[in-house]
Amino acid sequence: MQLSIIIVNYNVKYFLEQCLYSVHKACANIAAEVFVVDNHSTDGSREYLTNKFPWVIFKWNSTNDGFGKASNSVLSEAMGEHILFLNPDTIVPSDCFTKCLSIFAANKNYGAMGVRMLDGSGRFLKESKRGFPSPLTSFFKMSGLAGLFSNSKLFARYYAGHLPQRENNEVEVLAGAFMMLSKKAVEISGGFDEDFFMYGEDVDLSFRIMQAGLINYYFAGTTILHFKGESTQKISADYVRHFYGAMLLFVEKHYSHKKATVFIIKKIIGFRKLIASLKINRAKDEPKKPLSDSSVNTAIIAGQQKFNECLQLIKYAVPSVMLAGRISIDVDDKDASIGNLEDIKLCIKKNTIGRLLFCEGELTYEAIIQQVENCKGKSDFLFHAQGSSSIVGSSDKNARGIFIAKP
């Protein structure tokens, strides 16, 4: 067995559905197994997913014990030479796993690997590559200096801002959203520290892998989508509690011998936590936005048959979708359309398109991800995997994404 993939689910069944379809394509040419550990979801995940994916090994927890503990719970069953911890709100291209495994095969001292990630609006996620949150690095991050000097090796070390996003590099910290480990790294580390409920466990694991003399590697040769804000909204009390609690735990665990600097960092964390809490209270008084804006012109990128299929699913959208028409994929497509994929930006401008729906099947995941990045800032995006019963999208990292599914 080459690869064991471990995904932890919590109330994101439609995003997980899209993820699993992409994972299935990416496993086509390798020996792999997929575990989904559900942390007591209440959104009907079990009923919705079990029969759709008979090749997945599901584990249904009766409590939510956190990401790290759920991930570790199936490590003893995993048979792969490599272990991939993968978020449920991701979409991977079909060549992703084979590329990563080939890098591991050529570099026996690599302990863990992360990849280039984009959010649901096509923007690069800086957490794809990071530095250890030492007291000084944390100070620069929380004081805002890292943002002011985003390419500085000194000030922007938190996000390794000095390392180009499109270049492979050894890094200190990888993101738990996509973190592939060698069997050796798993055996040495024992997996995640279960004291971290959510957030920070990837930083801690990266730290311990490097302490063991292995390399953490950022691989820019493949790009995935990672939607943000699905399991925990960023502007929420849960996020503030878990995120800043994880920061405190990491500082106490790894820097307790530096009492003066730890004291200062704790004070800064407390201040940032207070500011975040004030933002939450202010957000409560703001009017709630609908899950989808029915006034946004939406175009479906597909052939005519797939377009007709999507229409049957879109009719269940609440609020309803304002459909601008179909964008064809093939220049020789003679059926009615409002434009062609080759001239996608012109089509967006000409037809005032505010949202694009990508249909996988006629378009590969690689092509979809490439177009998402190509059109970032021009449009929002929705995604529909061939064979799936839902459509998902997320353009706001601070809020839940949207979905369309038959009730």
Which of these ranges, 14-23, 51-60, 294-303, has the smallest mean pLDDT?
Answer: 294-303
- Bridge partners of 64? none
Report cis status (omega within 30 of 0) of the bond before 54.
Answer: no
- 256 pLDDT more than 80: no
The verdict on domain 297-405 having CATH code 3.90.120 is no
Tokens of 396: 């706001």
Q: Which of 140, 143, 159 is nearest to 151 (CA)?
A: 159
Round to whole Å and give the CA distance between 378 and 229. 21
**CATH code for 3-129+165-226?**
3.90.550.10
> pLDDT of 41-77, one tens digit each?
999 999 999 999 999 999 999 999 899 999 999 999 9
Which of these ranges, 8-12, 251-255, 292-296, 335-339, has the smallest mean pLDDT?
Answer: 251-255
> pLDDT of 158-217, one tens digit each?
899 999 999 999 999 999 999 999 999 999 999 998 776 666 799 999 999 999 999 999
- 234 pLDDT more than 60: no
In the chain, CATH 3.40.50 sits at 297-405
In the chain, CATH 3.90.550.10 sits at 3-129+165-226
Round to whole Å and give the CA distance between 49 and 336. 36
Which of these ranges, 66-70, 127-131, 211-215, 260-264, has the smallest mean pLDDT?
Answer: 260-264
Pairing of strands 339-340, 322-328: parallel
- 248 pLDDT more than 50: yes
Which stretches of 285-400 are DSSP H helices? 304-314, 344-350, 365-374
Residue 160 C-beta-side C-alpha neighbours within 13 Å = 23
